[in-house]
Each structure stands twice: as C-alpha cells, then as structure tokens.
Structure 1
Amino acid sequence: MKSPSLSAPAPSCRAAVAAAVAALALTGCANYIGIKSDKQMAAPAQFESAQSLPAQGGQWPSLDWASQFGDPQLPALVNEALEGSPSIAQAQARLAKASSYIESTRSNLYPKVDASYSWTRELYSENALFPPPFGGTWYSENNVLASASWDLDLWGKNRQRLGQAVSQEKAAEADMQQARVTLASSVASTYNQLAQLYALREIAEREIDNRQDISRITNGRVAAGLDTNVEKQTANGNIATSQANLTELDGQITTVRYQLGALLGKGPDRGLQIAKPVLNPGAVVALPDNVPADLVSRRPDIVAARWQVEADTHGIKEAKAEFFPDVNLAAAAGFDAFGWGKFLTSSSRQIQFGPAIHLPIFDGGALRSQLKGRYADFDLDVANYNQTLITALSDVATQISSIRSIDKQSGDAQRALDASRKAYELAVIRYKAGLSPQLQVLNADQNLLAAEQTVTNLKMRRRDLQIGLIKALGGGFDATATGLVVPTDAPSSAHASN
C-alpha cells in the first residue's frame, strides 16, 4: 500500500501566487513615481531678434581674427598669452580631471579580476576549536585565490554614469575654449587701450606746442603793451597744465603695459618691452546670416551650458537605475592548505561562484531624495543655458548697435574737428595781429583739444566694440570643427528620461 503524498499545485494556482508575490514586491520597493521636471531648453527662435540681428551676409570670425587690425604685434601677443597664461593652464587642468573621471567610470563596464596570496604562521590553542594534534602545534597556512566579478548593468546605470562623465568632459573642453576666447579678446582690448593712450599722448604733445606758441605771442604783446601780466601768467599756467596731462598719460601707459604683461602670463617687465601699437582703423562690420540659430554652436559658453544639461540628463537616468535590482556575477578559485606539502594539490582546491542580487525595498527615501536632487540640477542648468543664450543674443545686438551709433557720431565729430581747427588757426592769426583778446584764442584752443580727443576716443571705442563683437560671435570657435557638437538625438528636456 503506497503512502499518501501531497499533489503539486495546479499551473493556474502557481501563476496566481507568482503574480501576488510580484505585486507585493513592486508595492514594497522604492520607486520614483511623481518625480519629474517640465523644464526645457529654449530654442533661439523663441526670442525675437530679426530686427536687432538682421542677415547682412557677413562672415563669422576666424581663429586668426587679430590679424585683421593690421598690426603684426597683436596676433603675436595673443598667441603668447594663449601659450603661457595661467588661466588657460587652469582650464586645461580642469579638462584633464574630467577626462580622468571618464577612465574610472568606463572601468565599471568590464569584469574585474583580482589575485591574492597570504601566508600565516599560527599556534593553535589546545582548548579551542582544533583538538590535538592540531591544538598546541604551530602550523603554516597558505592561501592563494583568484577572483573575478562583473556587474551586468542590466538597467544601464554604469553606462549612464559614463555618459555623464563624457558630457562633463565636453563641457570642460568648451569652458577651456571660452577661456581662450576671453583671454584673446582681453589682450586685444588692452592693446587697443594702449593704442588709445598713445594717440591721446600725441594730442597732448601737440597741445603743448600750441600753448607754447600762444605764450610766445602773449610775451610779444606784453612787451608791446597790448597785454598785461595776467595774460602772460595765464599762458604759462596753461602750458604747465598740459605738461601735467602728458605726465598723467605716461603713467597710464606704463600701467596698461603692466596689465598686458600679466595677461601674457609674464612679469611686468614684459609689458615694458611691447612696441608702440600701429593698429589700422576698424573695417566695415556686417553680421553673418542666421546669427540666432548658428550662435548656439559658435559661442563656447553656450556649448558648455548645453553639454552640462546633457550630463544632467545622464545623471537622472543613472539615479533612476538605482531603483532597480543590481546583479553582480562573482567567481573565485584557488588553493588553501596547512603547510607546503599539499598546497598545490587537487584536494586543496577552493572554488566559489554565484550571483549577488541587490534590490532596494525600503531606504527611508534616500533614492527619491537623490533623484530629486538630480532633477534640481537639471532645472538649474536648463535655466543657466536659457540665460546664457539670452545674454549671448543681447550681447551681439548691443555690440552691433553701438558700432552703428559710433559710425554716425564719427562723421559729426570729424566735421566738428575740422571746424575747430579752422577756428583755432583764425583765432591765432587775429590774436597775433592784435585784433582779438587772448581769451578768444584760448577758447578756440580748448575747443580744438576737446574735438581731437573726441574723434580719437570714438575711433578707439569703435575698435574696442569690434573686438567685443568678435568675442560675442564666439571669437572663431566652431563646435563642429572641435567635435563638441551635442548629439542631435539628445533630449531637450527631462521628459525623455521620465
């Protein structure tokens, strides 16, 4: 007679039990339900700029833009600064650090293999775990073990971490390019400031000559009894004032030379070795076509901000993968024996293998908090990208508008200078002939000085704005030529990773 046995559950019963267990596990596990973001990066077309940034058929700046000003010393100084400035070295160090993080994160995608060996000499107690003859005897234990492990990365956590590291490296590289553009434009602007001071110095020298001429005429009139000692002392005082202005300009020139030396990454004496600038007048300025759309790949700061958003997207996906089980395969093999006699024999073998599974069930909200932080980083960097784009468009529009305004002012200023020069020449003739008082010629001299300074300052200001426009247009940077173009399938918002 057969003993009774329990019958196996029916297939439908097993399925129901499995479904119930799965439902219980899912409801008990940590999840990211309700955590999301609706922030999106703005497109250039969202911002109206057709009137401010019209298509004019101009060219984007090239990397050798400094040569267009006709002074061979300027591009040489720019290259010297880019090669030796500590600010560029700092940006390069940040890029190297980001690159090293890529190597460390990429290693998580591959199996890891380790080997170890240990030798232990131990006296075992007679009254503990091992009885005699082991207890109370010295023994040597040899252990050699080779182990391997591999994180299967079923949910792409490690791959997203690598993608984040790559994006951050791209952002660091774009930041370095921005540092180069900023440094080059700073060198050019400071060099233009030096040229402006030299031009004003030439005006000051001519002013001293003019006032010395007036003083000589005054001395003759005093000797003839036509003027008094008041006019004589006034003329002498004006000469001294002009000489003081000249001395002040010399001090400013020395200061700017020191600034150039610092920009070049050298000592102040390097600035004293720079020759007098011989810059040409600024050329005609025309905006390239389709500035708003193309600016996003021409401005390194915009490209850096875009890559940072891309890094945040990978970070969000990595944080979401933390909610799913980790599966790690591990295996080890080796030998373990007392003494040396049987150390490497088959009886001393040790082998172990098996998967390790980690499933977050209850973590007190740590994973959700981490994901919320990643979304906050995403929202912040999206806002930063949008602000960078708005600032870039405004920067270009401001520079081109200021150049157009100065072009109009320059014509009027030049006509005023021509009239002031003629008035001064006539006033000198009349004063010398005794037909007008000294005050009239001094007023004409003052008007001529102001007119010359205005024309010179406008010319230098226009060139400085032209340098600013070059920087605003990216300073010759092109993401397509440097491999920094963001993938076209990259999401523009966090929705793609929800």
Structure 2
Amino acid sequence: MTNRYRPQPRLGAWTASIAAAVAALSLAGCVNYAGIKSDKHIAPPASYETQQSLPAEGGQWPSLDWANQFGDPQLRKLIDEALAGNPTIDQARARIEKASSTVGTANSALYPKVTGSYSWTRELYSGNGSVPPPINGTWQSENNLLTNASFDLDLWGKNRERLRQSVSQEKVAEAEAEEVRITLAASVASTYNQLARLYALRDIEVREVKNREDIGHITEGRVGAGLDTNVERQTANGDTATTRSSVSDLDGQITTVRYQLAALLGQGPDRGLKIANPTLGEGANVALPDNLPADLISRRPDIVSAYWQVDAATHGIKEKKAEFYPDVNLSAAAGLDAFGWGKFLTAGSGQLQAGPAIHLPIFDAGELRSELKGQYADFDYDVATYNQTLINALSDVATQVTEIHSADRQLVDAQQALDAQTKAWQLALVRYKAGLNQQLQVLNADDNRLAAETAVVNLEMTRRSMQIGLIKALGGGFDASQAGLAANTETPIPARSGGAETH
C-alpha cells in the first residue's frame, strides 16, 4: 500500500511563503504594459451643437403605448402580436440568455472548485522490474479515490474584471433587444401606414374610374350629336381602361403589403389577408421634449448598448493588465489509495496533498503586450462607435422633425392646389357638357385634379410615416432607468472625462 499523506506546514508559514514568492516573481518579471494606453473617451451630448436644430418645445417623450395616438385599435393589436411572435424577438432573447450564461461562467471563477474522482485498475506487474516482491510478477488491483479542491486567489482582480465585463455584455444584449423591439414596432406601424396609403390611393382611383366613365357617357352623347368623333370616343374608353388598370395595380400592391405585415407578425402570408382596412388618424402634435440632447442618451437603446459596450471594453483592458502579474492558485487533494479492497477504507490508505501554484509571465515574445494593444483597439473602436451612434441619433431626430415641418407646409399648398384643380375640373366638365370645351381640356383638367388629390394623400401618409420615424428616433418609449440599464440614478449614461488608462 502507498501512503501519500504528507505533513503540511502551518497556515501562517504558507501565507508568508506565498507572499515572498509573489514579491520575488513580481520583481523578477520582465513582461509589462508600459506605454500602452488610450486617450479616447465618449463624447458628452453637450459637445454637439443642437440648439437651432433641436429647440426645446415642451413636448413629451414617447410612451410605450404610442400607437394609441393614431386612433386605430387594430394597430396596437398588430404591434403586440408582432412583439409576441416575431422570430427576431426570440433571437434577441436568445442572445440575452447567452450573455447571461457567460456571466454565470465568469462568476463561478470567484469561488473554489471541488471535484471528485475514483479509479480502479487491474495490472500485471513485471517480475523483473523495479517493483519489489511480493508485488512483482503478480496481478494487482488498485483503488484510488480522490477529492480535489482549488481556488484562484485573484490577487489582481482578473476574474472580477472578467465578471464585470460579462455583466456589461449582458446589458449590451438587453439594450439590443430593446432596439429590436422598438424597430419591430415602428416597422409594423410604418407598413400598416403604407397599407393605409394604398387604400387611400385606391379609393381615389375608384372614384376616377367613375369620373372617366362619366366623361365617356358625355362623349357618346357628343358623338351622337356630331360634336365629337370616334377619336374622342376611343380616347375616353382608353382612359377609363387605364384607370381600371391602376386600380388592379393597387390591389396587387395592397396584397403584397399584407404579406409583409404577416411576416412582421411572425405569421404565414394568409394572416395578412385577415387584416382589416386601416382607420388611422392624424396622431398627436409634434413637439420636441426639453433637454433633448442630454436625455436622448438614456432614451435610445442603441446609444445605451454602445455605452455598455465601451464599459465592457474598459473591464476587458483591466482584465488583460492583470495577466501581467503573478497568478496564484491554492490546491488541495484528499482521498484513499490502496491495492485491493482489504485495506482501502483504512486510515493507512489515506492520501493528502496541498500547496500553492504561482504563474508569472517572464518572457512571452510580446504576446501579452500585443493582446493588450488589441484590447485598447477594441476600446477605441467601441468609443468611436458610441460617438457615431450619438451623432446619428441627433441627426435622426433633427431630420425627422425638419421633414415633418416641411410636410406641414407642403400640405397647406397642396390642399390649395387641390381645391383650385377641383374647381377647374368641375368648370371644364360643365363647359364640355354644354359643348363649349373640347374633350382634351376636360381630360387635362381631370388629370391635374387627380395629381393634386394624389399629392395630398401622399403627403398626409408620408407625414404620418415621418411621425412614426420621429417616435422611433426618440426611443419609442424606452427608458434606460426603467429597463435597469442605467449606469446610475443621477446620470443614466455618464460620459467619461478621461481615457481608458486603468491600473
């Protein structure tokens, strides 16, 4: 039997020995990160000029139920259905679960690890080997039971920084999931508004078919009276057929948009065919919230995601720096080891071993320094991404507001044009009936009226689409503090005043 029990030194002696070894290795170590740093930092909103483009107007931030303002209950139900069943939402949830599992893995490194093992071997020992009698030349069975425990002291915080990095990455995934939710809701609303646009245009074309038929009847009467010829008759018939073709084209577009809506809902194309005709209203007045640039960073999930990505990169740098210092692990093992079963469970079969293990990189041909430079490059990239995301967000809001105000001004002129073109068409039609105008004049007047009416409808629908875009640009009801993604309660996403140099 082999007894592997070894007398162990006192705990105080262990501590002194470890401290001395760590100090000696630290002094002897040649690998360092001197000169590797970054001066990049995320830009505060105040660093960008927005006073003229984004004036304070006393408006409210969008709420999560922003779709209700358009007065169409079906829109709210469609958005809820999409958020419940679209595969992109499931993908976002899966990414969160993946990030959460990484947090659990990183957290486990902060605690001791305990494992157990048992082995049984049957071996014929050589009769002419180094094993003495009576074992040599015989078959022997060996039982080995061992319990191992190990603990990384994490003196320099490497494991703790890895955990913090994982937590930040989990927040990135959560913010990205919010971005997916907001984007999906806005896509449903925009596509639904497109369906409303097509139905409105179809209504115009259906009325136009009636108008062209009326002109055709007048033409038939004029041909019979000898005032028009077969040319005018065929022209009227051709225009009526062309208008019917436009109705058929719009019917095809309507069906296509219904299929698009079904896909957004996470359903088959038949689901789109069951959607009722939209009854969208104008929506709430457009007014920007006060303190918009500063508050926008906590209202846009893409900015929040970019912030936590920078935070994760910061912890990645700290973790990598900790690898330049000695790594100290404590390990211990206890168990039983004996030939055969007779003495396996006796005190004499006990085995016990314990001790520290210290690792320090002394020469690695520049590997650690290169990896740290890579971490700083990731940090610089993430900072630039955050800054670009903030710039894009401010531009997005300003663009949507400008386009809405432009559409409002265009609608005033377009409505006046429609009123004038409608009166011109009515007068031309009366004069045509009376034989005072040629057919071409009434057809031109009708074309002008049709174009004016189409322009008004398109402007109204485009404005609503821009309004939906502005809601999305303002965060779509997202709030970092309510979502548990704020850095702290006073400054949800604080800007760093310095670089990433950490020690």
Task: Give me the TM-score of the superposition, normalised by structure 1.
Answer: 0.94
Structure 2 residue aligned with 1:7: none
Structure 2 residue aligned with 1:260: 261
Distance of 1:76 and 1:286 partners within structure 2: 26
Is 2:87 aligned against 1:82? no
**Structure 2 SS opposite 1:497:** coil
Offset of residue 283 of structure 1: 2.9
Distance of 2:454 and 2:407 partners within structure 1: 14
Offset of residue 23 of structure 1: 9.1
Distance of 2:458 and 2:179 partners within structure 1: 29
Structure 2 residue aligned with 1:304: 305
One-letter amino acid of the counterpart of residue 156, structure 1: G
Structure 2 residue aligned with 1:101: 102
**Structure 1 SS opposite 2:221:** helix
Distance of 2:23 and 2:178 partners within structure 1: 52
Q: Deviations over 1:433-476 (max 9, x none)?
A: 11111111111101110010000000000000000000000111
Q: Deviations over 1:187-235 (max 9, x none)?
A: 0000000000000000001111111111111111111111111111111
Distance of 1:130 and 1:40 partners within structure 2: 68
Offset of residue 156 of structure 1: 0.3
Structure 2 residue aligned with 1:407: 408
Query: Relative to structure 1, is the Cα distance of residues 188 and 22 closer, same or farther in structure 2, using a 3 angstrom cutoff?
Result: closer
Offset of residue 320 of structure 1: 0.1
**Structure 1 SS opposite 2:156:** coil
Q: How does 1:52-63 map to 2 (within 5 A)?
A: 52-63=53-64
Query: Relative to structure 1, is the Cα distance of residues 32 and 333 closer, same or farther in structure 2, using a 3 angstrom cutoff?
Result: same
One-letter amino acid of the counterpart of residue 270, structure 1: R
Distance of 1:290 and 1:257 partners within structure 2: 39
Offset of residue 494 of structure 1: 3.7
Give the gaps of 5 or more residues in structure 1.
1-18
Offset of residue 123 of structure 1: 1.5
Query: Relative to structure 1, is the Cα distance of residues 275 and 22 closer, same or farther in structure 2, using a 3 angstrom cutoff?
Result: closer
Distance of 2:139 and 2:29 partners within structure 1: 53
Structure 1 residue aligned with 2:446: 445
Structure 2 residue aligned with 1:13: none
Structure 2 residue aligned with 1:287: 288
Distance of 1:199 and 1:409 partners within structure 2: 19
Structure 2 residue aligned with 1:66: 67
Q: How does 1:106-255 map to 2 (within 5 A)?
A: 106-255=107-256
Offset of residue 29 of structure 1: 1.9
Q: Deviations over 1:305-345 (max 9, x none)?
A: 00000000000000000000011111111111112222122
Distance of 2:442 and 2:362 partners within structure 1: 93
Structure 1 residue aligned with 2:502: 497
Distance of 1:163 and 1:367 partners within structure 2: 21
One-letter amino acid of the counterpart of residue 88, structure 1: I
**Structure 2 SS opposite 1:495:** coil
Distance of 2:285 and 2:452 partners within structure 1: 24
Contact 1:147 1:332 in 2 (8 A): yes
Is 2:485 aligned against 1:484? yes
Q: How does 1:464-475 map to 2 (within 5 A)?
A: 464-475=465-476
Contact 1:310 1:490 in 2 (8 A): no
Structure 2 residue aligned with 1:381: 382
Q: Deviations over 1:408-436 (max 9, x none)?
A: 11011111111111111111111101111
Q: How does 1:31-42 map to 2 (within 5 A)?
A: 31-42=32-43
One-letter amino acid of the counterpart of residue 500, structure 2: H
Structure 1 residue aligned with 2:12: none
Distance of 2:262 and 2:63 partners within structure 1: 25
Offset of residue 176 of structure 1: 0.5
Structure 2 residue aligned with 1:8: none
Distance of 2:154 and 2:284 partners within structure 1: 58
Deviates more, 1:126-135 or 1:401-410: 126-135
Query: Relative to structure 1, is the Cα distance of residues 322 and 492 closer, same or farther in structure 2, using a 3 angstrom cutoff?
Result: farther
Contact 1:95 1:172 in 2 (8 A): yes
Give the gaps of 5 or more residues in structure 2.
1-19
Contact 1:313 1:494 in 2 (8 A): no
Distance of 2:29 and 2:501 partners within structure 1: 26
Query: Relative to structure 1, is the Cα distance of residues 110 and 27 closer, same or farther in structure 2, using a 3 angstrom cutoff?
Result: closer
Contact 1:190 1:260 in 2 (8 A): yes
Distance of 1:215 and 1:134 partners within structure 2: 117
Structure 2 residue aligned with 1:392: 393
Offset of residue 26 of structure 1: 3.6
Equivalent pairs, count: 479
Distance of 2:499 and 2:131 partners within structure 1: 62
Q: Deviations over 1:141-195 (max 9, x none)?
A: 1111111110000000000000000000000000000000010000000000000
Task: Give me the TM-score of the superposition, normalised by structure 2.
Answer: 0.93
Distance of 1:265 and 1:288 partners within structure 2: 34
Contact 2:161 2:316 in 1 (8 A): yes
Contact 1:327 1:356 in 2 (8 A): yes
Contact 1:282 1:462 in 2 (8 A): no
**Structure 2 SS opposite 1:121:** strand
Distance of 2:146 and 2:435 partners within structure 1: 113
One-letter amino acid of the counterpart of residue 361, structure 1: I
Q: Deviations over 1:226-261 (max 9, x none)?
A: 111111111111101101111110110011001001
Q: How does 1:312-461 map to 2 (within 5 A)?
A: 312-461=313-462
Q: Deviations over 1:362-418 (max 9, x none)?
A: 111111011011000000010000000000000000000000001011011111111
One-letter amino acid of the counterpart of residue 337, structure 1: A
One-letter amino acid of the counterpart of residue 238, structure 1: D
Query: Relative to structure 1, is the Cα distance of residues 108 and 71 closer, same or farther in structure 2, using a 3 angstrom cutoff?
Result: same
Distance of 1:386 and 1:426 partners within structure 2: 59
Offset of residue 493 of structure 1: 4.8
